[in-house]
Amino acid sequence: MAFFAATLGVIILSGFINLTAANKDTCDIYAVVGQSLTLPFVYEELANSHVLRWTHNSTIILYRQQGRVSIGKPEDISASGSLLLKNLQFSSAGAYQAKLLDPNGTLAKAWTGRLCMMDKVSKPQLTYMCDYKSSAVNLMCHAKPQGWMFSWTINEKTLTSETRPTLSISLAQLKGEMSFTCSVANKVSKEKSDTVRPTCKGTPPPTTICFKSKAVVAVLAGAVGLILFLLIIIIVLCRCHVRNKTKMRRMDEGEMRMLALSKRVPDSISPQYETMHLTEDSPTPRHNSSPGACYENVSQPEAQTENRSAQLSTEAAGKPSPVPKPRTKSPQTPNV
């Protein structure tokens, strides 16, 4: 039982604390920074014999007794006891309390209120964008949305159902010249934008370039054919170049070989080789009637031929073989 009573007491205390905090955060009066404000306290039978005291967050900011102001300024008090606040700042926010006492010290009237400070709203900027993909026009009201309320007006008629900073209207509804405005407001001020008349007529500008499938295939086929044609031309030119280069190299090698042979042939032929063959214009040798002379004439050319063959074989071992000259027939000598 004691535990239940303790739990119930904690719940009640928590509820009281939360209610106090909620009342503390609740604003009774809103004001704009820089403006002046008169707190709503009125006592018509206020006299100099009354004692008036104003506090801000439990701090006395004005005290008047016997018609004399000891704390604060006399001009800040009205004839009915209201307090005038000038050049308000964010530090001016908080709880204000007024107490009025009779000359005998009894409470005649009391007032308590919480003041909240806010910035003045600035003039919003209204822009629009034509969305042809969704067939709509999107309007945007540019303003600081913190604690502000938005409203829209179309042709001087307020839309009560639209409270967002954006508005979308279909192009089918956009007929003629329609005017749009947006407004922003808070607890202390309100501003309205300039009038905007959207123009979303005509076809939209092309955003992307589209090709048909047949055109794409034709372009690709043409590109492939052109590449193959170029490759064939390059291969043919390369083969012709290689063939011409090989032909020129062979011609150069033949010319070098002929030049080398032309230099070596005169040196390789000796006088003995030339005397071995008699030309048709050479004189007929004289024949001796004796068999010994005939044997000498025959054996001498054979000996020279053997020596010449040995010499040619020796030279051929170190040098390339020369092209032989055509051998002329020598006149036959009659056998005696």
Task: Tell me if 223 is assigned to some domain.
Answer: no
Q: What's the pTM value of the predicted model, to 2 decimals?
A: 0.46
Residues 47 and 110 in one domain: yes
User: Domain check: are 35 and 97 in the same one?
Assistant: yes
In the numeric block, which tokens belong to residue 317? 């071992």
Query: Do residues 35 and 109 both lie within one domain?
Result: yes
Query: Do residue 89 and residue 129 come from a single domain?
Result: no
Domain contains 261: no
| Domain end among 165, 192, 219 | 192
Residue 36 in contact with residue 85, Cβ under 8 Å? yes
Q: Is 110 helix (H, G, I), strand (E, B) or coil?
A: strand
Q: Is 220:162 a contact under the CB 8 Å cutoff? A: no
What per-residue confidence (pLDDT) applies to 262?
Answer: 78
Q: Along the chain (336 residues), what's the average pLDDT of each consecutive run of 10 residues? A: 42 41 68 89 88 93 90 90 91 93 90 91 90 89 78 89 89 82 89 90 54 78 91 91 86 81 61 47 45 43 47 47 52 46
**Residue 132 is part of a domain; what is its CATH number?**
2.60.40.10
Q: Using CB atoms within 10 Å of the CB of residue 209, give its burial: 0 to 12 exposed, 13 to 18 middle, 19+ buried.
A: exposed
Tokens standing for 280?
Answer: 């048709």
pLDDT tens figures, 184-237:
998 888 899 999 998 886 555 555 555 567 788 888 888 999 999 999 999 999
Please tell me whether residue 43 adopts helix, strand or coil conformation. Answer: coil
Residue 151 shares a structural domain with residue 104 = no
Rounded distance, CA 168 to CA 170, Å?
Answer: 7
Domain membership of residue 242 (yes or no) is: no
Indicate if 82 and 155 belong to the same structural domain. Answer: no
The predicted-structure confidence for 286-328, as pLDDT tens digits, reads as follows: 444 444 443 344 344 444 444 454 454 444 444 455 555 555 5
Domain-ending residue, one of 91, 118, 145 = 118
The answer as to whether 86 is a domain residue is yes
State whether residue 153 is helix, strand or coil.
strand
E-state strands within the chain: 29-32, 37-38, 51-56, 59-65, 68-71, 84-85, 94-101, 107-118, 125-131, 136-142, 149-154, 157-159, 166-170, 180-185, 190-192
Rounded Cα distance between 6 and 163, Å, is: 48
Question: Range of 99's domain?
Answer: 26-118
Q: Is 299 a member of any domain?
A: no
Rg of the Cα atoms in the chain? 65
**Residue 311 domain-assigned (yes or no):** no
Residue 19 lies in a domain: no
Pick from 167, 192, 217: which residue ends a domain? 192
Would residue 146 count as lying in a domain? yes
Instruction: Supply the mean pLDDT for the chain.
Output: 75
Q: What is the predicted pLDDT for the residue at 210?
A: 56
Number of domains in the chain: 2
Are residues 114 and 44 part of one domain? yes
Residue among 144, 125, 153 at smallest CA distance from 189:
144
